[in-house]
Amino acid sequence: MSQTITQTQVVPPVPTLVLKSPVEEKPEDDYRYSHLLPHFSRDHYPPLTPFTHSDPGLRALAHSNPRSFLDNATVVELTPRLGTEVRGLNLAELDSDARDELALEVARRGLMVFRDQTDFIDRGPEFYKQWGSHFGRLHIHPTSGHPAGYPEIHLVYRDANSSFNFEVSDSITSTVWHTDVSYELQPPGITTFFLLAQPETGGDTLFTSQVSTLKKLSPQFVAFLRTLKAVHSGVEQADFSRSGKRGGIVRREPVENVHPVVRKHPVTGEEALYVNRQFTRRIVGLKKEESENILKFLYDHIDKSGDNQARLKWQPGTVAIWDNRVTAHSAIVDYADSKERRHGARITPQAERPIPALDGLELH
């Protein structure tokens, strides 16, 4: 259950985040996706309630060939440890069994990139909701913009005049690794994202395998990490929004939840590191200096492990699907000088409450 943290929060050192005041976008007659421009509704929602998540990947384990949905596609591995690129397959036409198989393959590979998916993108928000609901309960982001009438579709947006997402202006890097809304009691699993508009060059997305980052560590240290749990918090994100720097909207009061530092995937059984610089605040039960130093070490390990990472260069019609339980990612803000539009949409089904890799670890 959600846990209120009353002790003083210690935030690991991160780049200072400075945000422009957002401007709610008005429809543009000459923009193909003007109906999907960001809208900041003032609706307010009650706290999320726990639910039983049925992972579609588990159903695929019973299929005679769990990769049959790829039979007529061209498949290339992006890296040995993370990422698969697929051409020659229309995601929008996958039936229920094929979507189950997709969930299993994404769990195994962490990230799958599907090219030439204009048909998927152009089917619109009702289809996006139907698609995402196959993989879990759709998450409504507490602070972000969304298409008018579709709060389940999380938008990222930047152009010459406006932005409501984090931007780093006084740091040497725009790279901030995170897993999406990890502060929720039941954070996301299989997640779908695509760009509706993009700069001519730049605006790539970095991904890293949290399974591989964990495996790089010594067995003795991993055994220790399995005994730990950490606080993940949405409070700072809500405070940024309340200050008027991210829409000025908080639709649901922020929460803090405790998750295992090492989690186990419910389908593959793989263990993954589960901390991120954006939302993890402290390790429960450790002294301030102990928590800060362990988290800093883990964040630095994630940052620097290029051999566990893949870089996605977006092309028109690209759809990326990743498993937030076993990966982390970061947007690359390197296109600001061009003043070009970058407009993305994310479909974010929730999954199970993170399962500790250590049996019996209490998360209260």
pLDDT in tens, 203-220: 999 999 999 999 999 999
Higher-pLDDT residue of 166, 29: 29
Residue 48 binned pLDDT confidence (cut-offs 50, 70, 90): very high
Task: Return the SS3 of 191.
Answer: strand
Handedness of CA 210, 214, 215, 216 (dihedral sign): positive
- pLDDT category of residue 2 using cuts at 50, 70 and 90: very low
Q: Assess contact for 48 and 184: CB atoms under 8 A.
A: yes
Whether the pTM exceeds 0.75: the reply is yes
- pLDDT value of residue 244: 65
Which residue in the block uniquely carries the two structure tokens 């390197």? 334
Let me know: does 106 contact 323? Beta carbons within 8 Å: yes
User: What is the pLDDT averaged over residues 298-311?
Assistant: 97
Task: Report the pLDDT value the prediction gives residue 177, as an integer from 0 to 100.
Answer: 94
**Strand, helix or coil at 145?**
coil
Which residue is it, tokens 């076993």? 326
Asked if 320 contacts 168 with a C-beta cutoff of 8 angstroms, the reply is no
Q: 194: closest CA among 89, 120, 127, 134? A: 120
Kindly report which listed range (15-29, 182-196, 336-350) carries the lowest average pLDDT score: 15-29
Report the percentage of the chain scoring pLDDT > 70. 89
Tokens describing residue 64 = 């005679």
Return the pLDDT at 337: 83
Nearest-angstrom CA–CA distance, 92 and 320: 13
Q: Which residues are CB-neighbours of 75 under 8 A, at least 6 positions away?
A: 84, 85, 86
d(CA 251, CA 231): 22
Domain ranges of the chain: 52-352
Q: What is the chain's alpha carbon radius of gyration, rounded to the nearest angstrom?
A: 19
How do residues 95-104 score in pLDDT, each as one tens digit? Answer: 999 999 999 9
CATH architecture classification, 52-352: 4-Layer Sandwich (3.60)
pLDDT of residue 173: 81
Mean pLDDT score, 71-79: 97
Q: How many residues does the chain have?
A: 364
Average of per-residue pLDDT across 291-300 = 98
